[in-house]
Amino acid sequence: MSKRDLVVIGAGPAGMAAAAMAADLGLTVAVLDEQPRAGGQIYRDVDRVPKGRGRILGKDYTDGASLTAGLRHDRIDHVAGAVVWAIEDGFCISYTKDGRGAQVTAERIVLATGALERPMPIPGWTLPGVMTAGAGQILLKQSGILARNAVLVGSGPLLYLLAAQMVRAGTPPLAMVETQTRRDLIGAARHLGGALRGWRYLLKGLGLLAEITRARVPRYTGAQNLRIEGTDRAKAVTFSARGTSHRIACNTVFLHHGVVPNTQAARSVGVVHDWDAGQACFAPRLDQWGGNSVAGLFIVGDGAGIGGARAAELAGRLAALKVAEELGRLSSAERDRKAEPIRSALYGELAARPFLDAAYPPCSETLLPADSTVICRCEEVTAGDIRHYAKLGCLGPNQTKAFGRAGMGPCQGRYCGLTVTALLADANGQTPDATGYYRIRPPLKPVTLGELASMEHVAPDAAE
Amino acid sequence: MKPVSPFLELDDTPRAEVTFDGAPLRLPEGANLAAALLAAGIDVFRNTPVSGAPRGPFCMMGACFDCLVEIDGVVRQACMIEVSPGLQIHRPHAQEADDVQA
Ligand SMILES: Cc1cc2nc3c(=O)[nH]c(=O)nc-3n(C[C@H](O)[C@H](O)[C@H](O)COP(=O)(O)OP(=O)(O)OC[C@H]3O[C@@H](n4cnc5c(N)ncnc54)[C@H](O)[C@@H]3O)c2cc1C
Ligand code: FES
């Protein structure tokens, strides 16, 4: 089994920045990521994207190449295509690559597993042709394919980004069906002070909106009663806005109302999580370096709380400084001196967040969906089923497993966990913290017997 | 008959011959398999074990498991595989779809 000072899980901006900084400070690092190339979600495939596509995706995307370049370092092994499925004390990390199991040990771990799309259960959301806006972006970045007749549904900056990219590519969306209301915007105004400090984000957002408007993409705001029609695939989106009902025929629907921390790996090792009311999701309880209830493990990037790519990168560097100090490569005074400018940049990056979170809140009708709506995609459990469990005395997500199969499919609750917590909390009149979340146990992703049998104790570089 | 694709492809990449449920397909070599199948006009990848409902890719990042296909007897996530020549891809049988490999 091979050994590293630091194993970084996730090669997005947070993980790449942490790895580069740690290697610069003399640590040996392995970076494991299940994707075939570095970049994470935002900079997906940035190293092999054709020129023309870079223009569609924008400079914020192509800038990611400076981070992937940082991984080409003598002391860094980037193990691509490595699906991490267990983290054990000590630390020993188990993963699968090319159908074979392998392990690596580490003094310290940086978890940088990023975000997931917030679940958006509406009638018809399981139909083929319905995808997340993030999926729409991945299709464009990684594969250069664009939906010709798409409707974008939900709210938030990422929805505008996808719409603007579709406009630039010559396939503008048929419509934007937006769920935020004017009241949300007025409510957000009290965070305007912070937003002005983060003025770059506001300007960017206004720029995207201008592109969408110039392309004459119809926009509906305050949309309610969202539904996707179709039997074998999505055929149309129906909704009401300002008292009028609408139906828009389409081939593809992209859903989005924010991203939430992907907490699977952190939960599997017992990191304590708290409900973050501002972002309406669970986030790990962290100190200023990304440290938490599990000694030696650090959590950075969107997996620590949604802050965006630049903030993720900065948090990655802070964790690397702390790891280097703990392993004796840096005095605590040097660590603090190096951390100071990073911390003040991070403060600036996060300034606009409270405004954005308040202006584009999650769509309320999907937080507590109607009884007939499927909420667990894997096992096809409905919101009504969960409410029924609550009536029978079910208090928390782990007890639902005694009543039915919610959260027991292959996605392990990634796209139903928050909904189950919200439904039970609402039905029982309890807080999300008191209600809790699914207990996550390894394996984090399904592993076959064949993969276990082939388990080699090899160095990550030998596994290339 | 080739299904009409709801997707536009920006690049023209060299193609690899594969089959989907026995029918020949020419997909861009090295491309993400789920994306390539979508671009080829295939939208139903599988039917669920519970109700038989049709499903296709949803997240494209390996998290939702809705893009499952069967290759060489193993059920895998199409969005985590790259296209290579000679792939024989099948819609998974309902009962096998619960037994997945990451
Ligand atoms: C689909 C999607 C698209 C997005 N697109 C944009 C965008 O275009 N612009 C923008 O500003 N923001 C975007 N975001 C928001 C995004 O989360 C952040 O901007 C940024 O990518 C966060 O960086 P990160 O390093 O924290 O995580 P990420 O960039 O998400 O990187 C996490 C990495 O961890 C890997 N990983 C996770 N679990 C495992 C495991 N068990 N084993 C191995 N590897 C694992 C993933 O493969 C991924 O590469 C997107 C989010 C999502 C979910
Ligand atoms: S599309 Fe979600 S796992 Fe492949």
What domains can be seen in chain A, in order of their start residue? 2-116+260-330 (3.50.50.60), 119-257 (3.50.50.60), 368-435 (1.10.10.1100)
**CB contact at 8 A, A439 and A264:** no
| Centroid of ligand 1 to alpha carbon of A42 (angstroms) | 6
Give the whole-angstrom CA distance, residue B95 versus residue B99. 8
Contacts of A53 in chain B (CB under 8 A): 10-11
Please give the pLDDT value at position A461.
46
Give the whole-angstrom CA distance, residue A260 versus residue A140. 22
Contacts 24+ apart (CB under 8 A), A397-400: A397/A421, A397/A424, A397/A435, A397/A436, A397/A437, A397/A438, A398/A436, A398/A438, A398/A439, A400/A424
Ligand 2 atom nearest the C-alpha of A131 is 1
Tokens of A290: 């990304």
| Centroid of ligand 1 to alpha carbon of A403 (angstroms) | 33
- Phi, psi at residue A115, to the nearest 5°? -120, 165
Please give the pLDDT value at position A464.
37
User: What is residue A195's three-state secondary structure?
Assistant: helix
Which residue, A355, A367, A307, A362, is CA-closest to A180?
Answer: A362
Please give the pLDDT value at position A404.
87
Q: Does A14 touch chain B (CB under 8 A)?
A: no
| Cross-strand bridge partners of residue A252 | A150
Q: Test A131 with B60 for CB contact under 8 angstroms.
A: yes
**CB contact at 8 A, A25 and A320:** yes
Please give the pLDDT value at position B83.
96
Q: What letter represents residue B99's amino acid?
A: D
Question: Which of the 8 DSSP states describes residue A185?
Answer: H
Q: Does A445 touch chain B (CB under 8 A)?
A: yes
Question: Where do we find the tokens 């038989």?
Answer: B52
Q: Which ligand is nearest to the CA of A141?
A: 1
- Phi, psi at residue A12, to the nearest 5°? -85, -170
Q: Best residue in B66, B81, B91 to probe A by mutation, most A CBs within 10 Å?
A: B66
Searching chain B, which residue's CA lies closest to the CA of residue A138?
A: B60
Q: Which of A143, A232, A251 sits opposite B31 (nearest CB)?
A: A143
pLDDT digit string (tens) for chain A, length 464 residues:
799 999 999 999 999 999 999 999 999 999 999 999 999 999 999 998 888 888 899 989 999 999 999 999 999 999 999 999 999 999 999 999 998 999 999 999 999 999 999 999 999 999 999 999 999 999 999 999 999 999 999 999 999 999 999 999 999 999 999 999 988 888 888 888 877 777 778 888 889 999 999 999 999 999 999 999 999 999 999 999 999 999 999 999 999 999 999 999 999 999 999 999 999 999 999 999 999 999 999 999 999 999 999 999 999 999 999 999 999 999 999 999 999 999 999 999 999 899 889 999 999 999 999 999 999 999 999 999 999 999 999 999 998 888 888 888 899 999 999 999 999 999 999 999 999 999 999 999 988 878 888 876 544 444 33
Please give the pLDDT value at position A427.
96
Pairs of CB atoms within 8 A across A/B: 135
H-helix or E-strand containing B25?
A: strand B23-28
Question: Which residue's CA is the closest to the ligand 1 atom numbered 1?
Answer: A134
Please give the pLDDT value at position B102.
53
Please give the pLDDT value at position B4.
73
| Cβ-based neighbour number of residue A460 at 10 Å | 22
Contacts of B39 in chain A (CB under 8 A): 143, 145
- Phi, psi at residue A254, to the nearest 5°? -105, 120
- Phi, psi at residue A241, to the nearest 5°? -145, 130
Contacts of B42 in chain A (CB under 8 A): none
Q: Which ligand is nearest to the CA of A59?
A: 1
Please give the pLDDT value at position A187.
87
Cα distances from B13 to residues B31, B83, B86, in angstroms, run 9, 12, 17
Q: Compute the nearest-CA separation of A401 from chain B (Å).
A: 16
Give the whole-angstrom CA distance, residue A96 versus residue A206. 43
- Please tell me the number of Cα atoms within 13 Å of A418 on its side-chain side: 29
Q: What is the mean pLDDT of each run of 10 residues along chain B (102 residues)?
A: 77 92 95 96 93 96 96 93 96 64 56
Q: Residues near ligand 2 with C-beta < 6 Å? A: B 34, 57-60, 62-67, 77, 79
Tokens of B41: 């006009």
Give the whole-angstrom CA distance, residue A211 versus residue A234. 27
Give the whole-angstrom CA distance, residue B56 versus residue B48. 10
Cα radius of gyration rounded to whole Å, chain A: 22
What domains can be seen in chain B, in order of their start residue? 15-90 (3.10.20.30)
